[in-house]
Amino acid sequence: MKARGLIIAAHGRQYLVEFSDGSTRLCFPRGKKSELACGDHVEVAATADGQGVIEKTGERSSLLYRSNEFRQKLIAANVSQILIVVATEPSFSDTLVTRCLVAADSQDIRPLIVLNKCDLTDRLPAARESLASYRSLGYAVIELSARDGADTLRPHLKGETSVLVGQSGMGKSTLLNALVPGANAATREISEALDTGKHTTTHARLYHLDAETHLIDSPGLQEFGLHHLDLHTLEAAFPEFGPHLGRCRFRDCHHDREPDCALRGALARGEIDPRRFECYQMLRTEVA
Ligand code: GDP
Ligand code: ZN
């Protein structure tokens, strides 16, 4: 028996595949090297033990992944939107937000920054201030308190396949549970099944909010390496650089110490946020 399915949970080389009748099956890829992600469409050959072998992967409209100098790690496939969860408290990493935005841009995934824990009103002004530069660049920011529900977010999810990312502590699990009641418990159950008993929740997992609205929860992100990107993709992901690109004296300008660098000029005039520029330089040494 062969059937098409959707990967709804991924952990190492084990995948939980869901079929159109709603049934699921634990599956393994045929090849040693093939790497798949939550959200991938696959073709499965059932095996006698109730499991399955993944024989084929469908084309992907997007693939979100991170990488360091040694390896890459798939986060989610076929997503149209990335929800970057930050909070008023604890403080979030600007660098990580920019990394998520760059990764999203490189795959044509729409980013949405979700500022959680807005009920902590004494922390709210500072958090808004740190997000102001993203807003002014045109990135959408939504404010909510996941503890009180996620109704402000819901309309933005409709018809999309969204992936939730964020550093741990930002309230991602609370938000997931507000969107999909019982999700955390279900995730724990699946984790246990995949992990044969170990209590971890480090698996990506896909939930259906309705027939055309899906949500992928990814394990908490502390780092988001982008070694796989090229320089052009990186520069293009900084919208504020746009007007200045191609205007440096040297065509291969590193925007570092070269004379007549258009980006440094814009930086000096206050047209580019120094924190974003610093982040760009860090990423540049990573992809170079
Ligand atoms: P995760 O590590 O990102 O999954 O974060 P959790 O969902 O476990 O939340 C981390 C902490 O923040 C927990 O103590 C939550 O109760 C708390 N938290 C989550 N959402 C909110 C919120 O909207 N308001 C407040 N005040 N606390 C929240
Ligand atoms: Zn330059």
Please state, rounded to an integer, the average pLDDT across all residues of the chain.
92
Please count the other Cβ atoms lying within 10 Å of the Cβ belonging to residue 282: 13
185-225, pLDDT tens digit by residue? 776 676 666 665 554 546 789 999 999 999 999 887 888 99
Separation of 91 CA from ligand 1 center, angstroms?
A: 13
CA gap 31, 255 in Å, rounded: 43
- 41, 38, 35: which is closest to 59 by C-alpha? 41
Close Cβ partners of 134 (under 8 Å, ≥ 6 residues apart): 97, 101, 113, 141
DSSP states of 37-53? -TT-EEEEEE-TTS-EE
CB 7 within 8 A of CB 15: yes
CA gap 89, 117 in Å, rounded: 7
pTM value is 0.93
For residue 125, cis peptide bond before it (omega within 30 degrees of 0): no
Give start and end residues of each alpha helix (H) in the chain. Answer: 94-106, 124-136, 154-157, 172-179, 183-195, 231-236, 262-268, 274-287
Nearest CA to ligand 1 atom 26: 117
Nearest ligand 1 atom to the CA of 120 is: 26
pLDDT at 124 over 70: yes
> According to the model, what pLDDT value does residue 196 have?
54
Ligand 1 surroundings by CB, under 6 angstroms: 116-117, 119-120, 145-147, 166, 168-174, 220
